[in-house]
């Protein structure tokens, strides 16, 4: 795929992602203002409340954006729009509350006293003296909040809200830097546009200029209205991936009601994007309507499935065994699969449709040259040298029970441990910044970077069969089952690895949809 | 008519006023003088209910201020502030119109009144009504402040150091102008000032305050002639000396 074609494909996704982003930011800023302004006015009146309230709104700033967004999922028991909205509202509060309180406090006390002396009520002092004089400071706070919210909203992709972050997370995982660039440029342009329009609104309010006021309001209407209507104005070209519609969490649909649109989920890495595209193509081929919800955090995908927020995605038995079932005992693949399927059905009503045929296990991988020089072929060999070697992992590995189990099974002690985004983890081992990485067995980069995977003789890693999971409401949907059953057992490790490589490589790069079609060229 | 009857006021452990009784007759101009912290400004705040006495009563036109609606009371009293206190985000006209707007006057009536007042205080309406306060000199700003105080046709005018931040020439001209308006409009005026000369020259009677107590209330002539004690004597000594030295200079020239 040429750069130009890639850019074109990314731009075709822009309306859908922009819509999700603008709807989220608009709602967050509107709600943030509605909450923050009255709070700030109350605080401005009672100085005693000032300390505690400012401390409370400041605390939200100290929580990293991604963590705050992730926390909202279990706190609200929801997924997608609402947790993202809640986190962004909390983020927007500090600059608005702080600037409003400061702005009002900075108004010359003699003017406040004069207002009272002239016979203004406390409310009139507020609306005729304090607020107009504090307005520039308040608007500055709103502008700061707008820029923050637009930026942090890109982090709402992993909790299931479609945003411009889909470009960034998806692009990062599939090493599609054009996608990352498009996402960043769109977010920056949106932030600058909002900031400029709010500044214009402020000048209009101060200068009492109706013309400027009209221009600013028209501009804001264009940004929010245009963003909201974007998917309708620009229909995605048929060759592009289906533009995901916004993934707002809706109330649970009754399991017996016919499902209007099947929501296909994907975690945030290449294989998941390809498999989601494959599931989508199969379902659409069966005449079903499909919505894609991609770039989900690992455990969020499973939570979303149990709550019917997504209907189908591919997960891995080992992941579910340890993260969902909280099991750490090693077991053969057939036992993991059967116990897991029973547990999923009885605990959540989730259906394990079956295995696709390949395993995507964690595997420790090294540069071939170094492994040969040190005579390392198995993890047992590695354990003797580990204290001189540096380990690179993905974000979650060191928190996962597999790591505890692996470490104890082999007595592994590394010289250092560093967590990376998976894309950068592979680059780090290739550039000799780390020596051992937690690779995935299906990853095409194992071959391209000339890495070797080490044998796990003690079977410390549980099996990671790729299985297709159906949400409770889709568990008995015959159309879905019929469309997806042909995939079971049909995907070998080598074919999956080749498909992943075709998306990850730099030359002759495929989109996940193209890779999926190559993987399963069957009738649509 | 304004009456303070045995008024005391405490701020925490500090006695701002102690047993002050003072009557300001209708149409009279009384100046309150004394050093900083003597309680001058406290008296103004008691009259327009910005503060409440700890003991004693304050009456305006026979009505106890404590029982009046403070908002209505303040709107019926004109107030001029020390550093002008014009609202910087409003034009001259909107500043003058503040109280009529609060009272809900009709827009044409407000516009007519604003123009009339600006002419009265010596600022041609056509040239000044749409200007912003920061574009005016100190004297012009205080003229706007005066127009604002008089906008709703109050019977009582309270002034807190009205000429304190003006240069001597402007102070003198504006002082005489206010005195003329006071007479023409039949106002009852209470002016706080630390400028004893200004008080002696403008007021009908001068009230001397010291540490919250009223030392003497008298006409300027009586005060000059028979100060009640050494503290009052000391207060009027400077203007007296200045006057006699000026007189000597004039006689010599």
DSSP-derived secondary structure for A326-339: ---S---HHHHHHH
Token pair of A37 as six digits? 């302004």
- pLDDT for res A376: 94
Q: Answer yes or no: is pLDDT of A248 > 70.
A: no
- pLDDT for res A269: 85
Cβ distance of A128 and B87 shorter than 8 Å: yes
CA pair distance A28, A33, nearest whole angstrom: 8
- Please report residues of A whose CB lies closer than 8 A to that of B133: none
CA pair distance B187, B77, nearest whole angstrom: 10
- pLDDT for res B29: 96
What share of chain A in percent tops pLDDT 90?
41
pLDDT tens figures, B223-234: 989 988 998 998
pLDDT tens figures, A249-272: 333 333 445 678 899 999 988 899
Angle, CA of B2, B6 and B10, to the nearest 5°: 105
Question: Chain B: nearest CA to A92, how far in angstroms?
Answer: 28
Across A218-232, B92-106, B122-136, least confident range: A218-232
A276 phi and psi angles, rounded to 5 deg: -65, -40
Q: Is B211 exposed, middle or buried (0-12, 13-18, 19+ CB in 10 A)?
A: middle
Q: Answer yes or no: is pLDDT of A483 > 50.
A: yes
Q: Answer yes or no: is pLDDT of A160 > 80.
A: no
pLDDT tens figures, A375-399: 999 999 999 999 999 999 887 788 7
Question: Chain A: nearest CA to B211, how far in angstroms?
Answer: 24
Average pLDDT, chain B: 91
Higher pLDDT, B114 or B170: B114
Q: Answer yes or no: is pLDDT of A280 > 60.
A: yes
* Nearest-10 crossing angle of helices A165-173, A422-430: 30
- pLDDT for res A232: 54
Query: What are the Cα distances from residue A4, in Å, to A169, A178, A189, A474?
Result: 21, 10, 21, 39
**Please, are residues A452 and A369 in contact by the beta-carbon 8 Å criterion?**
no
Buried b (16+ CB within 10 A) or exposed e, A492-510: eeebbbbbbbbbbeeeebb
Cβ distance of B48 and A114 shorter than 8 Å: no
Cβ distance of B89 and A133 shorter than 8 Å: yes
CA pair distance A218, A227, nearest whole angstrom: 13
Higher pLDDT, A229 or B8: B8
Taking the Cβ of residue A110 and every Cβ of chain B, the question of whether any pair is shorter than 8 Å is answered with: yes
- Please report residues of A whose CB lies closer than 8 A to that of B87: 111, 114-115, 128-129, 132-133
- The pTM is what? 0.70
Q: Answer yes or no: is pLDDT of B159 > 70.
A: yes
Taking the Cβ of residue B48 and every Cβ of chain A, the question of whether any pair is shorter than 8 Å is answered with: yes
Higher pLDDT, A171 or B216: B216
pLDDT, mean of residues A65-91: 86
Cβ distance of A119 and B83 shorter than 8 Å: no
pLDDT tens figures, A353-380: 999 999 898 899 999 999 999 999 999 9
Predicted ipTM of the assembly: 0.89
Query: What are the Cα distances from residue A83, in Å, to A28, A128, A158, A333, B60?
Result: 11, 38, 11, 36, 60
Q: Are strands B188-192 and B205-210 parallel, antiparallel or unpaired?
A: unpaired
pLDDT tens figures, A194-208: 999 988 888 877 766
pLDDT band at A281 (very low <50, low <70, confident <90, very high): very high
Q: Among candidates B226, B188, B193, which has minimal Cα distance to B207? A: B193
**Please, are residues A108 and A129 in contact by the beta-carbon 8 Å criterion?**
no
pLDDT tens figures, B91-106: 999 999 999 999 999 9
How many beta-carbon contacts under 8 Å exist across A and B? 50
- pLDDT for res A228: 64
CA pair distance A149, A153, nearest whole angstrom: 6
Q: Which of A114, A121, A128 sits opposite B81 (nearest CB)?
A: A114
pLDDT band at B23 (very low <50, low <70, confident <90, very high): very high
Cβ distance of B74 and A110 shorter than 8 Å: no
pLDDT band at A24 (very low <50, low <70, confident <90, very high): very high
The C-alpha R_g of chain B, in whole angstroms, comes to 19
Q: Among candidates A182, A188, A154, A230, which has minimal Cα distance to A9? A: A182
């Amino acid at each position: 795929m040429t750069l130009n074609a890639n850019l074109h494909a990314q731009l075709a996704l822009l309306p859908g992602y922009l819509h999700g982003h603008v709807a989220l930011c608009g709602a967050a800023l509107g709600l943030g203002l509605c909450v923050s302004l009255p709070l700030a006015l109350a605080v401005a009146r009672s100085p005693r409340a000032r300390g505690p309230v400012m401390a409370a709104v400041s605390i939200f700033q100290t929580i990293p954006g991604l963590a705050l967004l992730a926390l909202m999922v279990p706190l609200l028991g929801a997924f997608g729009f609402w947790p993202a909205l809640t986190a962004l509202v909390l983020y927007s509060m500090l600059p608005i509350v702080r600037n409003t309180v400061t702005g009002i406090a900075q108004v010359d006390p003699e003017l406040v006293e004069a207002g009272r002396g002239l016979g203004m009520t406390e409310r009139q002092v507020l609306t005729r003296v304090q607020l107009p004089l504090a307005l520039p400071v308040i608007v500055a706070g709103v502008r700061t909040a707008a820029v923050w919210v637009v930026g942090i909203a890109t982090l709402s992709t992993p909790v299931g809200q479609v945003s411009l972050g889909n470009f960034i997370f998806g692009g990062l995982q599939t090493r599609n830097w054009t996608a990352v660039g498009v996402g960043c440029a769109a977010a920056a342009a949106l932030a600058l546009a909002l900031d400029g329009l709010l500044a214009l609104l402020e000048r209009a309010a101060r200068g009492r200029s109706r013309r400027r006021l009209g221009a600013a309001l028209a501009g804001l209407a264009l940004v929010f209205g245009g963003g909201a209507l974007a998917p309708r104005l620009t229909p995605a070209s048929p060759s592009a991936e289906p533009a995901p519609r916004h993934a707002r969490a809706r109330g649970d649909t009754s399991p017996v009601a016919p499902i209007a649109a099947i929501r296909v989920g994907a975690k945030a890495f290449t294989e998941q994007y390809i498999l989601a595209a494959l599931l989508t193509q199969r379902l659409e081929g069966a005449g079903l309507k499909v919505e894609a919800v991609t770039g989900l955090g690992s455990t969020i995908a499973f939570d979303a499935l149990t709550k019917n927020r997504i209907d189908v995605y591919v997960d891995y038995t080992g992941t579910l065994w340890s993260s969902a079932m909280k099991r750490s005992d090693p077991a053969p693949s057939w036992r993991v699969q059967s116990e897991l399927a029973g547990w999923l059905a009885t605990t959540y009503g989730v259906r394990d449709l079956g295995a696709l045929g390949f395993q995507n296990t964690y595997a420790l991988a090294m540069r071939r040259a170094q492994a040969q020089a040190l005579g390392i072929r198995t993890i047992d060999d590695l354990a003797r040298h580990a204290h001189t070697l540096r380990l690179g992992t993905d974000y979650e590995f060191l928190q996962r029970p597999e790591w505890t189990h692996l470490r104890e099974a082999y007595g592994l002690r590394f010289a250092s441990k560093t967590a990376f985004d998976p894309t950068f983890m592979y680059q780090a081992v290739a550039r000799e910044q780390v020596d051992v990485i937690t690779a995935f067995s299906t990853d095409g980069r194992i071959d391209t970077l000339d890495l070797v995977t080490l044998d796990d003789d003690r079977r410390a890693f549980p099996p990671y069969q790729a299985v297709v999971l159906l949400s409770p409401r889709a568990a008995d949907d015959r159309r879905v089952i019929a469309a997806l059953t042909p995939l079971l057992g049909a995907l070998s490790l080598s074919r999956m690895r080749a498909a992943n490589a075709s998306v990850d490589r730099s030359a002759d790069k495929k989109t996940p949809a193209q890779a999926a079609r190559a993987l399963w060229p069957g009738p649509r | 008519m304004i009456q303070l009857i045995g008024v005391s006021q405490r701020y925490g452990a500090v006695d701002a006023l102690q047993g002050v009784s003072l009557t300001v007759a209708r149409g009279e101009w009384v100046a309150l003088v004394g050093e900083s912290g003597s309680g001058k400004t406290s008296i103004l705040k008691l009259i327009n209910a910005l503060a409440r006495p700890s003991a004693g009563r304050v009456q305006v036109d026979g009505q106890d201020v404590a029982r009046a609606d403070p908002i209505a009371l303040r709107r019926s009293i004109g107030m001029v502030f020390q550093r002008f206190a014009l609202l910087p985000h409003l034009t001259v006209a909107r500043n003058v119109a503040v109280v009529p707007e609060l009272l809900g006057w009709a827009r044409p009536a407000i516009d007519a009144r604003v123009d009339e007042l600006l002419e009265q205080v010596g600022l041609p309406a056509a040239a000044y009504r749409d200007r912003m306060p920061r574009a005016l000199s100190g004297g012009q700003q205080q003229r706007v402040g005066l127009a604002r105080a008089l906008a709703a046709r109050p019977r009582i005018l309270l002034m807190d150091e009205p000429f304190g931040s003006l240069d001597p020439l402007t102070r003198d001209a504006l002082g005489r102008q206010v005195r003329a308006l006071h007479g023409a409009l039949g106002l009852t005026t209470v002016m706080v000032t630390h400028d004893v000369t200004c008080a002696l020259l403008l007021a009908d009677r001068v009230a001397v305050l010291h540490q919250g107590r009223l030392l003497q209330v008298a006409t300027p002539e009586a005060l000059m002639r028979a100060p009640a004690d050494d503290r009052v004597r000391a207060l009027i000594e400077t203007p007296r000396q200045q006057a006699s030295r000026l007189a000597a200079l004039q006689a010599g020239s």
